[in-house]
Each structure stands twice: as C-alpha cells, then as structure tokens.
Structure 1
Amino acid sequence: MNKKLISNPINRVTFKNRIIFIFLISTLIPFICLGVISFYTIDSIIDNKVENSIQSKLKQDLTTLENSLNNLNHVSQQLAFGGRVTTLLDELQKESEPSNRIQLIREINSEINLISFSNPNIGLIMYYYPDTGLHDFENFRLRNEFMPEKLPVMAKYSGITYYGPHKSYSGSINQFVFSSMRKVNILDQTIYLYIETGRNALETLFAPLNRKSDSRQLLILNNEGRVTFSENKDDFPENNMFPGQSSESSSGYYKTYFWSKETSNQGWSIVSIIPIKELNQERNQWLLQVSVIFIIFIFISLLFAWFLWKMVYNPLSKFNKEVKTLIQTETHNTELTKIPEFDYLLNQVRTMKTKIWDLYGEVKQKEKRRADLEVEKLLYQINPHFLMNTLDTVHWLAVFNGNKEIDKLVLSLNKLLSYNLGKMGEETTVEKEIQAVKEYLQLQQIRYDFQFDVDIDVDENTFGILIPRFILQPLVENALYHGVSDDGYIHVDIKLNENLEITIQDNGSGMSKEEIDRLLHEETDESQKVGMGIGMRYVKRILESNYGEKAKLEIKSEVGKGTIVTLLLPVFRG
C-alpha cells in the first residue's frame, strides 16, 4: 500500500504546483466554457455573415448576367424576326441591280447602327453565313477570323445559342463578353445573327484585370453542369464537370476552396470560389484577439497563484528545512512556524530525528566490525598464483627425479593455467592462442588412452592479428569430445582472406542438425560437460561481445562424417 502511494506521480507534485494548479482550474474553467460558447456563437455569426455576403454578391452577378443575356435576346429578336432589317435582307437577296443593292446595304447598316446606338450594352453585331463561312454588316472591325465552332457554349435553346464568356471578336475592345447566335427568319437562306455584349455591359463581371483586389474567382456552368469558363483553370479546368454538380447544396468545399452557386431560370449557373484561408480571415482575427486576452488572463491568474503561495510559503519553508536536514545533521533547530499544526509536526520530526541518528550510530559500528572481519578473512584466502607456484615446485621435483612424463605434464599445465588466468576479456594474438592450444592438446594426449593426430596449419601473416583470449580451446575441446577416438584426426586451419578465417575439422562421429542447434543455443547437461563447462555458448557470447554481428560462427556436420566449425572474424592487427 505504501509503495503504491510513493510511486503515484501525484504524490511527487509540490505544494506550490498544487496551489497554482487548483487556482488555475478554478479560474480558467469558467473562462474556457465562456470562450467555447462564444467561439461557436461568433463562428456561426461570421459564417452566416460571410456566406450571406457571398450569396448576395453572387445573386447580383446572376441578375447582371441575366439582364445582359435578356438584352441580347431582345435585340436578336428585333434583327432576326420580321423587323425592318429582316425585310431589307430579304429584298437584298432578291435584288440584282447594283445601285439598288448598294442602297439596301446602306439602309441595313443604318438600321443596325440605330439599334446598336439605342442599346449601349450591345457590342459587335453581324450576320454570319455558315455555308460559306463569310460574315457581313458588322458594326465594328473584327479582330480575328470568326470561328463560332470554337466558342464556349453556355446554354442552348430552340432558335438561339448563348456563348461565353470569351474574348470579344470586336477590334475596338479587348475584354470578356457574352454572345448569342440566332438563325434569321429568311426563306431559302441560311443566315445567323451574331451579337456580343458591349464594353460596359459586364464591367464588374468576368473582367479579371479590373478585379485585382477581389480574391474571389468566378465560373460559368452550362445546362449540364460543365465548366464553360473558369478563372481558375488549374483546379477547375474548362470543359470538365463541376465537382459540386452532384450535390444538391448551393455551397460547399472543394480542395482548398469554398464555392457558392446560383442557378438561372434557363438552367445555367454562376459559381463563386474563394480560398478557405481568406474565407476564414475574419474568424482568425477574432481568434487572435481572444488568444491574446486568454494569455493575459492566464498571466494574471499565475500572478495571483504566486501571491497565494507566498502567503503560506514562509511557514512551510521552516518545516521543509527541518525535514531536509533530517539525515544531514543531528543538530536541532528550535525555531517554530507559529502554526499549531505545523509546530506539532515539527516536534514529532525532531524527536524522530534524534532516534534516527542514534540508530545510525549503532549501524555504523556494526558495519565497521563486519568490514574488519572481511579483511581478516581475505588475509587467509588462497592466492590463485599459489597454485601455479606449487605446480612449478612439482615441475622441478620431477626434473630432479628424472620423471620426464610428469615434468612434461606439469609444465604444460602450468603454462596453460598461466595463459588462461589472464584478465577477463583481455585480447591476445593468433600466435599466442595457437601456442596455448598446443599446450592444451599435449595435456589431452597424455590424458586420453587413445591416439589422435592434430594438424595445425596457420598462415604466418595472421600471427600478429588480435583475437579474444581463450576462443580456440573450446572449439578444439568440442572436436575432441564429439567424435575423436582411435585414429582420430583434427585439422586446425587459420588463414587470412577478407576476414580472419579459422576452421577446426574432425573425422569423428558427427552430429545431427538438432544436436548442433542444442550445442549453439541451449545450455544442456551435454554442453556443460565439455572441458571447463564453457564450450560453444562461451565462444558465441565472446563473438557477440567483441564483434557484434560482424563475426560469424558456422557448424557443418553429418552423422558419421565428422564436423567442421568455421569462425569468420574481422581483422584487427596488434
């Protein structure tokens, strides 16, 4: 129970931080709630305000465009159906006398100029003959060759087709216009009347050069919902379906834009698109103001919390000082906090402090006595070099008594122990490691009652290469243990390629795959019986410790065909 209380992160929060936290929570929660409510309220007001503004502007644009198209329709009816101009055109087609034709042409031009003058929102007017591709009676000079088939179709109805917006064919203006084409009611003739809107008809609509400060962009959709004109051809390419056409809503979002749409009675639509970041500009300004107020409010709250903490800090600091010196010094402080509850706790702490220091003195004396006993015990422990000194004495006794076998055995054992009692992890050279293996094999040949041959083939270029101490003996020991008997053969080969390659091969009974895995990865009783109980697991751990993944240990063996152990080590020269 006490451990859980100590490990609880809440218990590590200082009194100062707790006061500040509680004060901030109690003051900020009402402000945050009020801020959230205000945000959603203001956000709703701003959204309605912006959307209503966009929708209102769009309706004005729609009304302007409808009026212009209605004006085109009205003028085209005057010039195409049963009016004075139509009659003169019919007479012109039938007249062959040149002087009469000239007079009729003048009258037609006069009528067209009169109608154009009385309708200032009308621009270019001309008659077009689709069979020949010619045009006539134009009231302005044409800028380029007239190609009606390339005009963007905005809406198509029985008897009249509306185009646009597109660049005007009139040579007197260079701006976007709308146009219409209607078939003229003349028998036995295929003539179309082409009319454009005038210079000032759509001054505020579809004139990008005049709307540099206006961030909105406009689109025109035909009856099918296909974009016939776009001021943003990258995200809303012309001749493509408008992305929001499938939605029944009159507004929505697409990519990084907010769009709003108004549809005319004839079925075509006008769409306004505005970048979302500009749409949210007013909201962001309001959020910035609220954020500044919020930061100021937090600063004031922290200031009050700090004053509140200072009011109780002085009494608590005395109590805190006494607790901190609990195990640092045994001197007592008689100063009180003048708060009854804290003074009572201070007296209890000081009493506890006295008892702790008394116990600390007793423990210190006991530890000193125990350390003295340990030193005395160490004085009587046997030094490991005593064994080598004793073996050296046995060696000289064997020499004096003429016992060469015992002399040879003791001398080899002494050299091997001296080599293997080196510091843990101390590196050695290939030459020294081979010498230690030879001493080991000499001991084993005396120990075992069967004959075996050992062939050691070492490239002289590898003698100075550094390798971990005591890495070859466990492999040779493993070869002896796992199959060498009468007429056994062990071949040790060390050569230098890209890596140091060490191979130990025997002609013993071999091992199965399961035995190899157990020898490498499992600490079984069998592996612990090998030599000094270190074996393959020791070699594997040494390789991992010294080389990481750069070294490799491989074992290849088949039952009855012997075993090959290969080490591949990175090269470090001494």
Structure 2
Amino acid sequence: MIGRIVHKWNGLRLKPKLFLSYLSVIIIPILVLGIYSYWQSKQLLNTQAEQALNRNVDTMAGYFNYKAELYNHTANIILNNSKIQQIISTPYMDYVNLYYDLNRYFYPNFNQIRIGNKEINQLTVYTENDMPESGYAIMSARRLPSFAWYKELGQGDVRPKWIRHSSELYFISTFPRLLVNGQNDILVMQIDMKDLFGRVAELMPGNGVIVTNAKGGVLYSNSAESVKAFRLNDLNDMDIIHAESGTVEIGDQKLLVLKKQIPESGWLIYTYVPVKNVSLNADKILTATSIVAGSCILLLLILITAMSNNLMKRIHTLVSWMKRVETGELDLQVHTGAKDEIGELMIRFGHMLKRLNEVIQESYASKIIQKDAELRALQAQINPHFLYNTLSFVNWKALRSEEHDISHIVVSLSKFYRTALNKGGQIITVREELENIRSYLEIVLIMKNYSFDVVYEIDEQVYSHKMINLVLQPLVENAIQHGIDKKEQGRGQIKLIARIEADTVVFTVEDNGSGISEDMIGNLLTAQTSGYGLKNVHERLQLKFGDDYGITISSTIGEGTIMKVTIPLSVEA
C-alpha cells in the first residue's frame, strides 16, 4: 500500500505536488491558528507595523540619498570638466571658435547627460563671461536676480543646494572659482519632481510624507492627500516639521511621527500616521495561541519533512551528479526511472553530458588533425629524395676536393633532416631525437666557428623510450638566438640533459647567455613566429599528452635560461 502511494506520488507532475504540499502546509495553520489567534495576535501586528514604518522610512531615505548622489555626481561631471570650464571662462574674440567649441565639446556633454538622465528637464550654466547666450544651455549670470529662487541662494556659499519654487525643483552647484578665472558661474538643473518623488507612494503607502532641504524649505509634501485619507482635521506641514520624533499630539489628533536625515543632500524626511492606524489595542495574552500553534507546528513539521524528503531526494542526487561533473568526471552514467519534471531534468542532463563528451572528443580530434596537418605541410616543403641526393652529391664533391669541413657539415645536415622528416611520421625514439639535435649542433658549431661549448648529460635509460619528433631543435635554436648570441662576456655554453623523473622523461636545455625577460618568456609560448617555434612545440605536446606536459621556461637576466620539456614515460604511436 505504502509502496503504491510512493510510486503514484513519484509519477505526479511537479505542479500538483507543489499544490498538495502548499495545501497541507497552509490550510492547517490558517484554519487552526487564523481562527483561534486573531485577537491575540494584534499586539504582535502592532509592533510589526511600527517596525515596517521604520524600515520604509529607511528605504525611502536610501532612495533619496541615491538620487542626491546621482545628481551631485552628474553636476560634478560638468563642473570638473576642464573643457567646459575653459569655454565659459574664455573671452572669445572670434565667434567661429566659440561655435566650434560649443558644438565639439559643450553640447555633446550636455546632450549625453540629458539622454542618460531623463528626469533633468533643463540644464543651464549661468556665467559672468561676456559671451552670447545659447538657448537654455548657456545664459548670462545677469539674469539670476530675476529668478525668485535666486533669493534663496546664500552669498558666498559654494555648497550644492536644493531649492523648490512653486512647482519647480532646482539643484544648484557653483563652478570652482579658481578654475573659471574667478567668475561666479553656477550650474542649475531643473528636476522633474514627478520622477524624483514619484516613488514616495510606492515606498510609503498610506503614510503622510514631507521632505525638506537643509534649511527647512519644503521640497515635497502629500499632506493634502494624507489629511483626506486619514480623515484628519486640517494639518499644517510646519506642525509636523517642528514636532519631535515619536508619538505627538497636534490639536486633538495623536500622530506617530518619524524623522530621518539624508546625508548626501542634507534633506530631512518626515513621515506620520495616526496612532489609531497602527495601535491594535491588544489586551489578551497569547498563551492559548502558543499552545495551539505549537501543536500545529509539530504536526506541520512531520508532514513537511515527509513530503520534502521525497521531493528533494532526487534533486540532491541531481546536484551531486552536477558537482561530480564539475570536478571533471565527464564519464558519469546518469539514470532514473521517474517520469515527473525532476526525472525529465535528470534525463536531459544525461543527454547533455553525453553530447558534451562528443563535442569535446570532436574538438580534441579536430585540433590534433589540424596540428598534424600543419606539421606535415611543414615537412612537405622539402622533397626528401631530392634533398638527400643533393647532399650526397655535395659530400662527394667535398671529399674529392679534400674539403673535410664541408663534408662533415653536409653529413650532419643529412642526418638532421633524415631524423627530422622521419618519413612523414611523428613518433621517433629518444635516441633518434638526440641524434637529430647532435647533428644540428654540429652544423651550428661549424657555422659559428666553435664559438661556444656543448655539454651532454644523457641518462642511457631514456634512449629506448619514444617521443614526438622536432621537439628539442626549437629549444636549442632559441637558446642560441636569445642566449649565446647575445652574451657579451665569457664563452657560451649549452647543456643538454635528458633523464627519467618518476613516470616522465625530462629534457633540459640550459644556456649561460644573457637571459630573457618575463614578457619575452610569455611571448615565446603564446606568440606565433614565422617558423616552427616554441609555441608549435608546446601546443603539439599538450595536444598529444595533455595539459600536464609541455615546455616550462625560467630565466635570470645576465645568468642564462633553463628550458624544460616533460613528456610521459610511455608514448603510444
């Protein structure tokens, strides 16, 4: 019976499961606690209402503080713009230059600010500079006394100010006098009050709200709506502003008043609500409610635990699978017999994982094929038969002329290309790779008149192991080019070391040259060169053996460079 119920539950879709779960969790406490504890919970609701009022005030203060910071930052963008400062302080003799500067620098900045701040209705600079007025953007400071709001500006006070006059709200800032040739230039932003104060009803629903500037001037008030909504007698904004925070009596009305200051702008927010709206006059203890609520909670815990365990078990399983895949276990086998949304999600996850493995394999194989094609194209640039025949003929001519140095370098070159090309194959023995690099070094030594020494430290156990070809030659070439050739004092030396370390074969190419910088080390392994460089070798090694293998470089300026190649001990063809 129980097994049949569990099977039926697992076969349901997630929506009816959630419905049944919520039904069980909600209906029981609503029926038991809602009916029995209604009057006993009034005091708790009263406390929560007061706390909510405080939180709403804090939220609204944070919102206005953000807005004030935004407008102050917007004003500073203009006030501290050196080009705008130069334009409004320059005595233009040629209006062509003025027109050019306005259209090139002034208007684009103003338009960009207006576009990004839709709530700014008007943006005006009032300047004492004797220059033509330009619409509402640039106006003469001589106009200021004609504006009613100008009387509220304190003389010599350079702090930003918020002023409301009639139905308009202004944010006023002063340009730094030192940067505008001592002029008393100001920036005036006319703000859309609906945009700025439009969220008051949303943040403080059902509350009276008054916002004043630092001097006590009212910027916003919804007292008319609040008096009507609360059915109060006529209420003056100044009564609220002059009241202390807390419960106060104004006339025959008892109000809860809260006051909050906004740091950025210096505004003060006053919010008030009739005490009767938040006081619930609780007069009974909650003992009986606690007993009943405790019983219901115990019953709910049992039901919720039973239902949630069944619902979450497979979700936890799916999460566990995802964590295992995150750690790299991509061959994970995903299986489930459930038919609901969670079961379908598991099945889809399994399909996704399978497809991911296929894509990884395809990408990996594609990269190997690409690199192999690049290498083969490089090898194919030389016709091996023609090259060997030509070198044999040159060797014969050198021996006939008793030019033994030429014969020696030709033989070394023939050995080098014979192992390098490797009949088109990539896998050779370590012995062949080392013979290849010996031939290469013999050629270079002859070409450079034996100007440096070569030291070999080869562990004989490495000879029988296999590796991909053309690995060491670019390292040795780099050591000669960036190390030995740039050495200014002393005789150069290249040391070639090959040994077995743990389950790897490590090749080391050391030089006592001039050393290379950190930037050049990074470029050697990442930048593509015109030839077959270290980047190609590093990528071939990692594509063939994995990211744990490849080339590492360390260098000390003036002392030399050490390059290491690490490959696995066992290499398959």
TM-score computed with the length of structure 1 as normaliser: 0.34
Greater helix fraction, Structure 1 or Structure 2: 2
TM-score computed with the length of structure 2 as normaliser: 0.34
